[in-house]
C-alpha cells in the first residue's frame, strides 16, 4: 500500500492520525455492541480495510484504463460508470477531522458535508479522492456548486447540471446531461458504451438496490427488530464504495440471517421499544452521531428517509422493454428525476414518501435531521412537520454538525422525546 499511497500523493502522517481516530470511534460504536448479526463481520472488515483492499482494487481498475468517478450526490448515474467497466464511489464528507483545514478556504457557515469533503482533498488524506479520474459535482445547492469552482483548482472536476424543477424543459436538459456524462465515461474508457454494456450496468445497480430494499423491509418486521439502525446505516454507507456485485451478495447473506432471526423472534431491542424514522440531510461516513445517540437513548432507528438510506434504493431503473441505448438513457432519466431531494421546488413527493414510510414501518416518531446550514432540508422541515402533525406523528428536529460538542445537549432532547413517545 505504501507505494500506492506515495504515487497518490497521500499525506501519510496525517492519514495515520485519521485512521487511528476512526478506528477508536468504530470500536466503541460498533465492535463493542452485543448481539450483532454475524453477517455484519463482512462490513466490519470492509471498514477496517477502508483504505486498504478496496483502494488496491480501484488502483488496479484505473491501471487497466477503467474510469474511476468520485461523487457527492446520488444524482450521478453510477450505472453508466459501471457500464464502462469502472467504479463510481461516494467521497466521504462525514468527518470533523478535515474541517478546520477546509475552513482556511471556505466560509465557516456552510454545510459541514461540503467542508469535510473539500478538506479531504486539501489534506490529501483520502485515497479515494486522490484516485478519482474525475470528481463529479452537481448543482443541487448553492454552497456545493460554488465549492466545485475551488475544488476544480485542486482536482479534475466535472459539474453535472441538475435542474431545480421538473418540467419538460428541465427534463430535456437533464437528458443532455446524462448523454454528456456517458460521453465523458466513453472518453476515459477509450471505447463506446453500447446497449449491452448499459443494460448490464443497470442490472448490477438494480440488484444492489433490491438487496438494500430487502434489508430495509426486514428491519422492523412481525414485531421483531433483528438489527440495530446503526448497523444498517453502516451498510448503507458502504454501498457507496464497495464493489457492487460483492456488496449485493453480502447484503443478501445478511438478509438471510435476519430472516432467521425474525423467525426465532430474536430482536436486538426490548419489546415495546420506540421506533424512529430519521429524515433529512445525508449522513456520509463516518457520521454516526445521531443514530448512536438515539439508540443509546433506548429507541430504535428503523428507517432513514435520506440519500444514504431509502432515497438511494427506493426505485430501480425500469429497462423492461428498452431496445436501444437512447431508451435506457430515458429510463435512467425517469428514475433519477423521481428523486425527491429538497433542492427541488416544489417537492410534494417527499412529504408523501415520508408519510408512507412512517406507515410502512409503524414508527412512533420522526427525528428530522438537518446539517447546519443545509438550507433546503431546513426550510422543508415546516411542510414535513405539518403533515406529520396532521397524522398525529410526533416529530423532533435536530440541527447539528460533526463536532462532538453538542452531543450531551442532543442526548437530553432525544431522551425527552423518546420518553414522551412511551
Are 189 and 292 contacting, i.e. CB atoms less than 8 angstroms apart? Answer: no
Quick check: 297 binds ligand SF4 (CB under 6 A)? no
88 binds ligand SF4 (CB under 6 A): no
Q: Closest approach of Cβ 159 to ligand SF4, in Å?
A: 13
Asked if 89 is part of the footprint of ligand SF4 (rule: CB under 6 A), the reply reads: no
Q: At 368, which helix (H) or strand (E)?
A: strand 365-371
**Length of the chain, in residues:** 422
What is the 8-class DSSP label of residue 29?
A: I
Q: Which stretch binds ligand SF4 (CB under 6 A): 218-226, 236-244, 316-324, 374-382?
A: 374-382
For 263, the grid coordinates are 423467525
**Does 54 contact ligand SF4 by CB under 6 A?**
no
Looking at the DSSP bridge assignments, the partners of residue 224 are: 221
- Based on the shown chain and the rule CB under 6 A, indicate whether residue 117 belongs to the binding site for ligand SF4: no
Residues 385, 285, 105, CA angle at the centre, nearest 5°?
Answer: 90
Examine residue 388 and tell whether it contacts ligand SF4 (CB under 6 A).
no
Listing DSSP states for 321-349 in one string gives: T--SHHHHHHHHHHHHTT---TTSSS-HH
Q: Which is nearer to ligand SF4, 75 or 247 (CB)?
A: 75
C-alpha cell at 404: 462532538
Stretch near ligand SF4 under the rule CB under 6 A, chosen from 14-22, 141-149, 229-237, 391-399: 141-149
Nearest distance in Å: CB 246, ligand SF4: 24
By the rule CB under 6 A, 73 interacts with ligand SF4 = yes
Judged by CB under 6 A, the residue of 131, 230, 307, 410 near ligand SF4 is 307
User: Rg for the chain (alpha carbons), in Å?
Assistant: 21
In the complex, minimum distance from the CB of residue 230 to ligand SF4, in angstroms, rounded to a whole number: 20
Assess 341 for contact with ligand SF4 (CB under 6 A): yes
**Nearer of residues 26 and 402 to ligand SF4, judged by Cβ:** 402
CA 199 to chain centre: 24
Which residues within the stretch 93-112 sit at the binding site for ligand SF4 (CB under 6 A)? 111
User: 55, 128 in Cβ contact below 8 A?
Assistant: yes
Among 102, 207, 290, 371, binds ligand SF4 (CB under 6 A): 371
**Greatest alpha-carbon span in the chain:** 60
402 is a site residue for ligand SF4 (CB under 6 A)? no
Interface with ligand SF4, residue 281, by CB under 6 A? yes
Shortest distance (Å) from residue 343 CB to ligand SF4:
5
Contacts of 314 (CB under 8 A, 6+ apart): 209, 213, 353
Q: Are 236 and 288 in contact (CB under 8 A)?
A: no
Among 92, 114, 212, 299, binds ligand SF4 (CB under 6 A): 114
Pairing mode, if any, of strands 395-400 and 299-305? unpaired
Q: Site for ligand SF4 (CB under 6 A): which residue of 87, 188, 294, 374?
A: 374
To the nearest whole angstrom, how small is the minimum distance from the Cβ of residue 125 to ligand SF4? 20
Minimum Å gap between C-beta 138 and ligand SF4 is 7
Single out the segment in contact with ligand SF4 by CB under 6 A; choices: 128-136, 149-157, 205-213, 336-344: 336-344
Which residues are within 8 A (CB) of 269 and not within 5 positions of it... i.e. 6 or more apart? 225, 228, 300
* SS3 (DSSP) at 195: helix
- Residues 92, 70 contacting (CB under 8 angstroms): no
Q: Which residue has the cell 462532538?
A: 404
Contact pattern for ligand SF4 over residues 170 through 209, marking x by CB under 6 A: ----------------------------------------
- What beta strand segments (E) does 134-204 contain? 134-138, 157-160
The grid coordinates listed for 98 are 478535515
Interface with ligand SF4 (CB under 6 A), residue from 30, 75, 247, 402? 75
Q: Counting contacts by CB under 6 A, is residue 236 touching ligand SF4?
A: no
Q: Could you tell me the smallest distance in angstroms from the CB atom of residue 88 to ligand SF4?
A: 14
Q: Grid cell 466545485 — which residue?
A: 148
Output b/e per residue, 329-338; b: 16+ Cβ within 10 A: bbbbbebbbe
Among 39, 74, 126, 227, contact with ligand SF4 (rule: CB under 6 A): 74
Cell numbers of 146, please?
460554488
Question: In the set 140, 206, 297, 347, which binds ligand SF4 (CB under 6 A)?
Answer: 140
The footprint of ligand SF4 (CB under 6 A) covers 73-75, 111, 113-114, 140-141, 143-144, 281-282, 307, 339, 341, 343, 371, 374, 376-377
Amino acid at each position: 500500500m505504501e507505494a500506492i499511497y506515495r504515487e497518490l500523493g497521500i499525506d501519510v502522517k496525517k492519514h495515520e492520525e485519521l485512521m487511528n481516530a476512526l478506528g477508536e470511534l468504530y470500536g466503541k460504536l460498533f465492535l463493542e455492541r452485543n448481539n450483532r448479526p454475524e453477517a455484519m463481520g463482512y462490513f466490519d472488515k470492509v471498514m477496517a480495510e477502508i483504505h486498504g483492499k478496496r483502494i488496491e482494487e480501484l488502483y488496479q481498475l484505473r491501471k487497466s484504463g477503467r474510469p474511476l468517478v468520485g461523487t457527492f450526490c446520488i444524482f450521478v448515474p453510477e450505472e453508466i460508470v459501471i457500464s464502462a467497466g469502472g467504479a463510481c464511489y461516494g467521497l466521504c464528507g462525514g468527518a470533523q477531522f478535515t474541517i478546520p483545514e477546509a475552513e482556511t478556504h471556505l466560509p465557516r457557515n456552510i454545510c459541514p458535508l461540503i467542508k469535510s469533503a473539500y478538506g479531504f482533498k486539501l489534506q490529501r488524506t483520502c485515497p479515494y479522492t486522490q484516485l478519482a479520474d474525475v470528481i463529479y459535482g452537481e448543482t443541487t445547492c448553492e454552497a456545493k456548486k460554488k465549492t466545485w469552482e475551488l475544488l476544480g483548482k485542486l482536482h479534475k472536476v466535472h459539474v453535472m447540471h441538475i435542474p431545480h424543477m421538473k418540467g419538460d424543459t428541465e427534463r430535456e436538459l437533464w437528458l443532455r446531461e446524462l448523454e454528456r456524462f456517458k460521453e465523458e465515461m466513453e472518453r476515459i474508457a477509450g471505447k463506446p458504451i453500447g446497449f449491452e454494456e448499459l443494460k448490464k450496468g443497470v442490472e448490477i445497480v438494480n440488484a444492489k438496490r433490491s438487496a438494500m430494499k430487502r434489508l430495509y423491509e426486514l428491519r422492523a418486521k412481525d414485531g421483531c427488530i433483528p438489527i440495530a439502525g446503526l448497523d444498517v446505516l453502516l451498510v448503507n454507507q458502504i454501498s457507496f464504495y464497495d464493489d457492487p456485485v460483492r456488496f449485493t451478495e453480502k447484503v443478501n447473506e445478511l438478509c438471510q440471517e435476519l430472516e432467521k432471526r425474525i423467525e426465532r423472534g430474536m430482536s436486538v431491542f426490548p419489546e415495546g421499544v420506540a421506533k424512529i424514522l430519521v429524515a433529512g440531510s445525508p449522513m456520509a461516513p463516518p457520521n454516526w452521531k445521531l443514530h448512536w445517540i438515539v439508540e443509546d437513548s433506548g429507541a430504535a432507528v428503523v428507517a432513514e428517509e435520506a440519500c444514504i438510506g431509502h432515497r438511494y434504493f427506493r426505485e430501480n431503473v425500469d429497462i423492461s422493454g428498452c431496445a436501444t441505448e437512447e431508451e435506457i438513457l430515458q429510463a435512467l432519466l425517469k428514475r433519477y428525476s423521481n428523486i425527491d431531494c429538497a433542492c427541488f421546488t416544489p417537492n410534494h413527493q417527499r412529504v408523501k414518501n415520508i408519510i408512507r414510510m412512517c406507515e410502512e414501518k409503524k414508527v412512533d416518531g420522526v427525528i428530522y435531521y438537518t446539517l447546519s446550514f443545509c438550507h433546503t432540508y431546513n426550510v422543508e422541515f415546516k411542510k414535513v412537520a405539518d403533515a406529520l402533525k396532521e397524522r398525529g406523528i410526533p416529530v423532533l428536529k435536530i440541527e447539528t454538525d460533526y463536532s462532538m460538542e453538542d452531543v450531551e445537549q442532543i442526548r437530553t432532547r432525544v431522551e425527552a422525546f423518546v420518553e414522551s413517545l412511551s
